[in-house]
Every structure is written in structure tokens, then in C-alpha cells.
Amino acid sequence: MFMDIDSALSHVKKVLAEVRVYNHACATLSFDQETICPSKAMQEQGEVSAFLSNKAFTLQKDEKYLAACRYVHMHRDELTNDFDRALEESLYRDYIREKNITPAMQHEASLIYNRAYVNWLNAKKAKDFSIFAPSLKEVRDISLRDVQLNEKRKPLAYDTIFDGYERGLTSADLDATFNKCKERLVPLLKKIVASKKKIRTDFLSRIVTDEAQTKMSRYLLETMGFDFERGAFTTTEHPFTSELGKNDVRVTTHYYPNMFYSSMFSIIHEGGHALFEQNQPNENFEHFIEYNKTMGMHESTSRFYENRIGRSKEFIHLIYPKTCELFPEAMHDVSEQEFYEAMNTVSPSLIRTEADEFTYTFHVIIRYEIEKMIVDGGVEIADLPRIWNDKYEEYLGVRPSNDAEGILQDVHWSSGFGYFPTYALGNMYNAMYYNKMREDFDLDAAVLAGDFKQINGWMTENVWKCADRVDPKTWIKGITGRDFTPDDFLDYLEKKYSEIYEL
């Protein structure tokens, strides 16, 4: 059917260009659904999105397209640049994963995920897990069905699923990493909780209007270097970033009148995701690999800006005057040092997205251990709230009083499993390249000066530029010259919080 690599590759890209149009429309509908869509319209919105998603999927089931993909794979040694080689690898992964999934199966899955999102939203509002439980069972079952249809599935179903988020890593890697985290962080958490150092936090619950928080969100995005000609921001129930297209990256946050700091670090986090997308090479779009980066890579960036930059003494010094200006009633009697310490207080809590930097890892470990049980352990869905609550009491010494502040707080399981560990991996990746960055230039001075052009320039050249073309282990070693390790992150936590709590 195809006589040379160029004609096969040309046909692949022609089809992918059409697929991209459908995916753009689906992303727009999804963004609308999670921001301003009326509650009674959500089910219909999801059905429209599922229909369009299925159109895109069906295009990639066309025999001529599949023949072109197979030809490119068989003649991959003839590819002349890294971008096309990355595309070939991505095509082959998708082919193996979706080879035995029919358009009808894909449409069924899309409907399940969209229905699950609506049911999760209703369950969270009602603080009642039983409303979401049937959908969670459907999501689990459809996930396991897809694993069984994968001809290159791994011995553990969870590993097959997780490979879709962080290729090349397994639950064995995660177990070893998280065991080391527990070994080093549990004793330190006990010392912090027992510390006599008292951090002032009374001002954090003072009322700040949505209008003032909106102005702060814009200021923070502008400071970070977010391009408003290619992006926008608004509010949602659960903050996220949506990459609709090359020139359309949107971020969201959520305003709480009595927790002004929540939206600040939410917008910095999502802004980090957006910077990754806004600063990737144009060649990624030309070769259809713009979504090839892993979630761990992505979370490394969002949490780099949120924590390593955003909660640093230097960044607090930079934004302190503006915070006092925009939030005068909350900040009128708060010193810069008090503000810094409050932004870094350690307090075991229930909500992951509001968790302090130190205890955040425990929130991820809890979710990882539970979703492994859901996928591989045969746990009863009805038992999950109790298991969740027990683990929070075991690891953090707190226990949810209802499902909304417990198992229903996150949206992620409405669309599958495997995402949560990438948050922790992201922290560990960025701890490694943060140390490398400090070797290359005076990072503290750049933050103090608000010189994000220099910071983002380094990130573009070292972190973002090649992310869509390599696997995570190769990527982090290419940046730092070292194999992946959680030690940089754990060293950082031990040093920083021992100083803050005078241990």
C-alpha cells in the first residue's frame, strides 16, 4: 500500500491533523463542563463530547491509517529526525494499547467516564459516596477490561495502567520510593508535631473577596511569565489546566473567602503546567507529539513553581508587598517572616490540594495504596470510605467526618487510576533539577528580582525542550546527569523543615 516512509508518514500526519480537530473540540467541551456548564446540562454535554471523541478514535481505526502506522514502525530506522522517531514510538504504544479496542468499546468508556464525573460532582455536594460508588465500579471494570485487551500487558494490572501515565516505571519502583519516604518522613513528622515552635496562622482564615483573589491570581500569572495572549484563567470546583491547542492553554482556580492562600498556590501550580505547554518547541505540534510528555514530568513543573519557587523565602519577599496591597484587611499586621512561615507550616490535614508541602507526600501514598487495592486487590467498593479514613488516621492522625472531605475530595478516579503517584514523582524530579539549576546560575537572586525570563529560559532549554521525545528516566538523567532518586527531595524537606521548626 505504501512504497516509502515519506508517503506513509504523510498519511499518518494527515489523519492526525483531523483527529486533532476533534480532540480540540472535546477539550473545549470538557473545559466548559468543568467551569460554566449548567448542572442539568452536564450529562448531555458529556454525551456530545463522547460522540466527538469516538469520531477521533474511529479515524485511527481506519485500515489505511493503521497500515501507514505499521509501515512507519517497520521502517523506523529510515526516520531522519528525533521528532518523527518520537511520533513513531507514540504511535506504536497507542497501537498496542488500543489494537483490540473497538470504536463501540471506546464510546462506551467515554460515556462511563463522563457519567462518573457528573455522579462524582453530585456525590461530593451531597457528601455521600454511595452516589458515586456504582460509577467507580464501572470505571474500575472498564479499566480492567482495557488491560486485558492490551497484548503487552504486564503481570500486574496496575503496572499496565500506570505505564500510560509514567512509561518505564512500575509499582515496584513506586513501592521502593514510597517506602523510603515513609522511612525518613514519618519520624520527622513526629518531631515537627512535637516541636515547641509556634507558627502564626490566625490571619490565614481572614475574609478576602473573590475580586481581590482574582487580582492576585492575575498578578501571580503575570509574574511567572504566563502568556495571556495564548492563555486564560477562570474558576472551577477542582482546579486544573487544559491544553486546548498550541495557542490556547487555560488554567483554573477556586476561591475560598476564608482561605486566600489556597487560590494563590493553586494558580501558581496550574500556571506551572501552563508554562510547560506554552514553552514547548513548535516542532512538537508539527510532528503531533505535543502530548507525549508524562504526567510526572508535568507535575514536576507545576510543583516546582508552586513549592520550590512559590514557597521559598525569596518568592515570599517578592510578592509580600503586593499581597499586603491586595489583601489589606488580612495582611495589615502580618510581617514578611510570619507570612513565609505560615506558607510553610506543617499541619496534618484531610484535603490533599490544601496540604502543606511536607505532608503532601502522605496524601499521595494513601491514594496510591488504595487504587492499587482497587485495581489488583479485589477490594469491595463499598468498603473504600472506611479504608480511606483508616489510612488517614494511620499516616496523618486525622480522620474525615464525611465523604466530601474524605474519599470524594478528588475528581481523578472518575476517569481512571494511576495519576496520583505522578504528583510525588514530580516533586522528586524537580528536586533533582532544582539542584542542577542552582549550579548553573544564581537562582535565589533571580527569584528575588522576579527574573522569570531567566528561570523559564533554563526550564525551556533543559526541562521542557526534550520532554516529549524521551521516557522519564532518560529525561531526568539527561537534565541532571544522574539516575532518578527521591533523596534530593527528602534531603530538601529535612533541611528546610528542621530549620523552620528549629529541630
Q: How high is the pLDDT of residue 285?
A: 97
> Which residue matches cell numbers 519577599?
317
The verdict on residue 161 lying in a domain is no
The verdict on residue 162 lying in a domain is no
Question: Mean per-residue pLDDT for 192-211?
Answer: 96
**Which of 116, 48, 171 shows the shortest CA–CA distance to 418?**
171
Digit-coded pLDDT (tens) for 203-246? 999 999 999 999 999 999 999 999 999 999 999 988 999 999 99
Digit-coded pLDDT (tens) for 45-84? 989 999 999 999 999 999 999 999 999 999 999 999 999 9
Q: Are residues 184 and 297 in the same domain?
A: yes
**Which of 285, 288, 315, 280 shows the shortest CA–CA distance to 466?**
280
Which CATH number characterizes residue 365's domain? 1.10.1370.30
Question: Mean per-residue pLDDT for 388-397?
Answer: 96
Q: How confident is the model at residue 337 (pLDDT cuts 50, 70, 90)?
A: very high
Question: Mean per-residue pLDDT for 368-376?
Answer: 95
Strand order in the sheet with 231-235: 231-235, 248-253, 241-245
> DSSP alpha helices (H): ranges in 225-350?
260-278, 282-286, 295-303, 313-326, 328-331, 336-342
Q: Are residues 402 and 294 in the same domain?
A: yes
Q: Are residues 286 and 398 in the same domain?
A: yes
Q: Are residues 84 and 133 in the same domain?
A: yes
Q: Are residues 346 and 421 in the same domain?
A: yes
Question: Mean per-residue pLDDT for 453-479?
Answer: 97
The verdict on residue 166 lying in a domain is no
Cβ burial 309-319 (10 Å sphere, 16+ → b, else e): bbbbbbbbebb
Residues 6+ apart with CB under 8 A from 185: 358, 361, 362, 490, 493
Question: Mean per-residue pLDDT for 275-299?
Answer: 96
pLDDT above 80 for 1: no
Q: Are residues 230 and 261 in the same domain?
A: yes
Q: Are residues 110 and 150 in the same domain?
A: yes
The verdict on residue 163 lying in a domain is no
pLDDT above 80 for 459: yes
Instruction: Enter the DSSP assignment of 151.
Output: T
Residue 308 C-beta-side C-alpha neighbours within 13 Å: 26
The verdict on residue 363 lying in a domain is yes
For the chain, the average pLDDT equals 96
Question: Mean per-residue pLDDT for 147-176?
Answer: 94
pLDDT above 80 for 172: yes
Question: Mean per-residue pLDDT for 75-98?
Answer: 94
The verdict on residue 202 lying in a domain is yes
- Distances in Å between the Cα of 137 and the Cα atoms of 126, 381, 405, 460 are 19, 7, 21, 41
Q: Are residues 176 and 86 in the same domain?
A: no
Q: How high is the pLDDT of residue 209?
A: 98
Domain around 28 = 5-156
Question: Mean per-residue pLDDT for 364-392?
Answer: 95
Q: Are residues 151 and 180 in the same domain?
A: no
Residues 6+ apart with CB under 8 A from 38: none
Which of 94, 124, 156 is the last residue before a domain boundary?
A: 156
Among this protein's residues, is 270 annotated catalytic?
yes
Host H or E run for residue 98: helix 82-98
Q: How high is the pLDDT of residue 475?
A: 98
Q: How high is the pLDDT of residue 223?
A: 98
Q: Are residues 197 and 318 in the same domain?
A: yes
The verdict on residue 164 lying in a domain is no
Q: Are 430 and 312 in contact (CB under 8 A)?
A: no
pLDDT above 80 for 3: no
**Which of 37, 32, 27, 54 shows the shortest CA–CA distance to 244?**
27
Q: How high is the pLDDT of residue 112?
A: 96
Q: Residue 502: what residue type?
A: E
Q: How confident is the model at residue 491 (pLDDT cuts 50, 70, 90)?
A: very high
Q: How high is the pLDDT of residue 54?
A: 95
Q: Are residues 100 and 135 in the same domain?
A: yes
Query: How far apart, in whole angstroms, are the C-alpha atoms of residue 324 and residue 219?
Result: 13
Digit-coded pLDDT (tens) for 103-133? 999 999 999 999 999 999 999 999 999 999 9
Which of 103, 125, 156 is the last residue before a domain boundary?
A: 156
Which of 156, 191, 225 is the last residue before a domain boundary?
A: 156
Digit-coded pLDDT (tens) for 310-330? 999 999 999 999 999 999 999
Digit-coded pLDDT (tens) for 345-369? 999 999 998 899 999 999 999 999 9
List 166, 270, 299, 306, catalytic entry: 270
State how many domains the chain has: 2
Q: Are residues 355 and 470 in the same domain?
A: yes
Q: Are 393 and 362 in contact (CB under 8 A)?
A: no
The verdict on residue 165 lying in a domain is no
